[in-house]
Chains A and B, each alone.
Chain A
Amino acid sequence: MKTMELSLTVNGHARTFAIAPGDLLLDVLRREGYFGVKRGCEKGECGACAVLLDGKPVNSCLMFAAQAEGRQVVTIEGLARNGRLDPLQEAFLDHGAVQCGFCTPGMILSAKALLDHQPDPTEEQVREALAGHFCRCTGYKKPVEAVLAAAAARKTRSRRKPAAEVMQ
């Protein structure tokens, strides 16, 4: 059944997966153990399956896996570096923005895409960035606060960055 080879980069690592032509990116990623990619609706409506494709959030349930050939995919598993959580992940924990956690990976990835392009977003921009992610637990208030706090933390961290690199 698996008749194609798919070569792509997942979380910075070159990977090759055997796939069928009709396989969805969502199904392939979950099959390969990227469980942070959630199946919420399979219709592109809820945002739980979001991944970053070349830095932009996409619903992996609306893409054939084959369309990711040669591209950079980042899942939630790829955010922590050397055991250090991304400031967004830290902020989601500190601000109580995680309840059941099912929509959380998608929200964090869309927030990351936002902050990578707009390091100092307004609340409206954060709400716009999260609008494609339904959350039934939080009412969005704490996720929005977490993203704004992470933006602030990233600025502090980026100022400190050279020193951190010297330490390594």
Chain B
Amino acid sequence: MSSRDVVGQNLRKVDGVKLVTGGAAFTDDIQLPGLLYGKILASPYAHARIRHIDVKKARALPGVHAVLTYKDVPRVPHTTAGQAWPEPSPYDTYLLDSKVRFVGDRVAAVAAETRAIAERALKLIEVDYEVLPAVLDMEQAMAAGAAVIHDEPDSTKIYDRDHNIAGYILREIGNVDEGFRQADLVVEREFRTQRQQHAMLEPHVSIAWLDPDGRLVIRSSTQVPYHCRRQVAMILQLPVSRIHVIKPRIGGGFGGKQEMLLEDITGALALAARRPVKIEYTREEEFYMARSRHPQILRMKMGVTRDGTVVASHLKVLATTGAYGSHSTTVQGNTGSKVLPLFRTDNMRFECHVVYTNMPVAGAFRGYGCPQGFFAQETVADEIAAELGIDPLEFHRRNVIRLGDIDRLSAQLGEGKEGLPRVIRSCGLPECMERAANAIGWQKRGARTPACGADTRVRVFDSVGHQDAGKSPGAARTSACATRRRGFGMACTMQGSGIAGIDWASAFFKMNEDGSFYLQVGASDVGAGADTVLAQIAAETLGVTLDKIVITSGDTDITPFDVGAYASSTTIISGGAVKKAAEKVRSQVLQMASKMLDAPAESLACADNQVFTTQGERKSVSMTEVALQALYREKTQIMDGASHFNTDSPPPFCATFAEVEVDTETGQVKVLHLVTAVDPGTAINPMQAEGQVEGAVTQGLGYALTEELILDGQGRPVNPNFLDYKIFSAKDMPKLTTILVQTDEPLGPYGAKSISEVPINGPAPAIANAIHDAVGVRIRKLPIRPEDVLQALRARQPEEVLVAK
């Protein structure tokens, strides 16, 4: 590793300067002459049929150039999930439909010269709704007599439309019932998780126009430009060759943009108006008209022998996908396949119903089903360890998956079909656990110490940003001593690196006169730093400095195919393609240099923008000389490309340790310190890798403690704004410690696996377990609000908890 010049270095982002100077980088940072503003008329009802819709007045409004309803567009069942073809998600969605299935569903769309005119036009559309009974409780969705949400006959791939079941999964390895019979202790608990929003700072935005050749250009905030192009072509009934999708810089995606969300309707409006059209969600629309994390009800059952060996696990899940089945079976499949195998028992069963409800649509979200599953599994594991009197750290040491293991559940649970077995070829989990435990001070666990002990790391701000004020320091101190308790908790988690056998990518290089290389990749940098990491892999392989790599990514006209940015695939899959292509180009460079240096190509190496002999007399030529020789003397363009996929998905591993302080008077939980140790394989850019961890755990803190989109009794969003939907700010943060435990993954470029998803899984269970350590109560629903803690405290032995030692 030490011999590497570029890989493993903390280099600046290749797109950094334009981002810190306000360069025109993002989707909306262009000005197009004649641009129209598109707006979508959203359903005010959770479930209704459009009896009659009249758009005459809207069309007549000066400045309006297009108004579309279901009568004006092709009816093509599809999924909005940005997945590889054929998508495993149900085809249950229409560009526009005569039925609406959630508050926020599309009724009509307009394009007008100003946003104000577009908004006025929406008000002029007259709609006569037949309001239908709505399903607003996932536990009622399958009940006899529940309204059928997808009664249309043309939708396909729905598991059981009459009972609102979008998907059903049942997989078992070994013999679970026999496993439980052998167990000395079986713990079974129910968990509930909420609707979390991505809340990326850049809302979804798409701009569509016709180029001079009449091709439809779509500039869009997407993680999946190629899937988008294919899906829009199908929906608008255009050849793929007539569509050009451009992914500029993206202001965060987190899975929310692994979705063909606005591109189809923006394109349809541009075709109707024959002018450029932009649709940009407002923040409020972003909260309920985009996507969310799937809410789940989980029943986790785990059996262990007296010595603390897990002998069987069974996870049963009810999840809702909302009104449409985007990512429905695949997210939920992950809840089983990426979670249960963490504990190495031969007997595992996963069963899941994913149901439709008349609620906002769920989709892909960082972690992709794992945060829910690990919250359940790691809380049960903690409970079992407590019951057996074993330190949870020791319980994990004994039971977690290890090097050389084969995860057979993954073989059964692939992306919408049978998967492939996962072989653990690199595993830094033991070291992650030990180093994180040391960093948090795990030996202090179990003391249930009052907050005013010798440890003075009490922060001024609590978990939702309220400053401790109004009390004299003395009073606060007395109160804290009496009512606050410290505790420690841990969780171990894993994820994948790309979807085995499905995700693939390609890359193409050409050499320029100055010895630089132009790199084209279909990969989609959505802000996580993919362009930089891919350029580092390229520079390392070609023996040039990072400034010699000019990268263009995510443009369907210019760059070769890539499935896009999801499933923690970019570094390992797109990076694998870049490395392969770079090796091919390097061999062309060496061939050229071989003639120039009169030395066999096998004896040459490249580094630091030079090609040099490694045997005999040291001779060298610069990359610039090689390029000039090729281009002007040999009349050859040095160029090549490569494609890459893996048949396995090596898991990155993570250990999350939390120290919390619980106020037994208010139920307030303050996280004092969160330690995250991750095995990402090789970190191509450790600084960026740390940033991925820190961002993921911050979303994980919100998932654990504050974030939930709440719906009222009619399915309307109650808190679609940043004041009422609380994400952590700079002031709310606990101390974060990030530890990278690097391993060498044989299937990854330079040993890399992935990093950006796995750390989000740990905070919720680690915090829940720390709360138990602090005050002795188990909270099994998310987010863990103060009232939940207080209720649990009051329900259980209040005298023991509230009385100071």
Contacts and interface: CB of A to CB of B under 8 A. Distances in A.
Same complex for A and B? Answer yes
Interface of A: 1, 30-31, 33-43, 45-46, 48, 75-77, 79-80, 85, 89, 92-105, 108, 124, 126-128, 130-144
B667 to A, nearest CB: 24
Nearest to B727: A134
B105 interface: no
Given A35-B26, A46-B283, A100 B730 contact: no
Interface range for B: 35 or more
Contact of B527 (A48, A101, A140): A101
Give the interface centre of A1, A43, A98, A127 by most chain B CB atoms within 10 Å: A98
Contacts of A45: 283, 721-723
Q: Which 4 A-B pairs have the closest CB atoms?
A: A36-B22, A100-B527, A101-B19, A102-B251
Contacts of B698: 136, 138-140
B456 to A, nearest CB: 15
A161 to B, nearest CB: 22
Interface in B628-666: none
Given A40-B203, A93-B17, A100-B249, A134 B722 contact: yes
Contacts of B699: 136
A101 B722 contact: no
B252 A140 contact: no
Contacts of A46: 201, 283, 722
B695 A138 contact: yes
A103 B697 CA distance: 18
B202 A38 contact: yes
Interface of B: 10, 12-13, 15-17, 19-26, 28-29, 31, 114, 198-203, 249-252, 254, 280, 282-283, 460, 465, 526-529, 687-688, 690-691, 694-699, 721-723, 727-731, 733, 736, 738
A93 B20 contact: yes
B527 A99 contact: yes
A93 to B, nearest CB: 5
Given A77-B21, A138-B691, A139-B698, A96 B10 contact: yes
Contacts of A101: 15-16, 19-20, 25, 249, 251, 527
A136 B695 CA distance: 7
B733 A136 contact: no
Contacts of A79: 21
Given A40-B283, A99-B527, A142-B691, A134 B729 contact: yes
A127 B10 contact: no
A42 B201 contact: no
A43 B736 contact: no
14 contacts: A36-B21, A40-B202, A42-B282, A85-B20, A96-B13, A98-B19, A100-B251, A101-B20, A101-B249, A102-B201, A102-B252, A136-B727, A139-B698, A140-B733
B731 to A, nearest CB: 4
Contacts of A92: 16, 20
Contacts of B22: 34-37, 75-77, 105
A136 B21 contact: no
Nearest to B25: A101
A100 B528 CA distance: 6
Contact of B736 (A98, A103, A141): A141
A99 B736 contact: no
A46 B730 CA distance: 12
Contact of A137 (B31, B252, B460): B252
A157 B477 CA distance: 43
Nearest to B21: A80
A34 B460 CA distance: 37
Contacts of A144: 730
Given A140-B728, A140-B729, 10 more contacts: A45-B283, A95-B687, A99-B527, A100-B202, A101-B15, A102-B202, A105-B20, A134-B722, A140-B694, A141-B738
Contacts of B697: 139
A76 B21 contact: yes
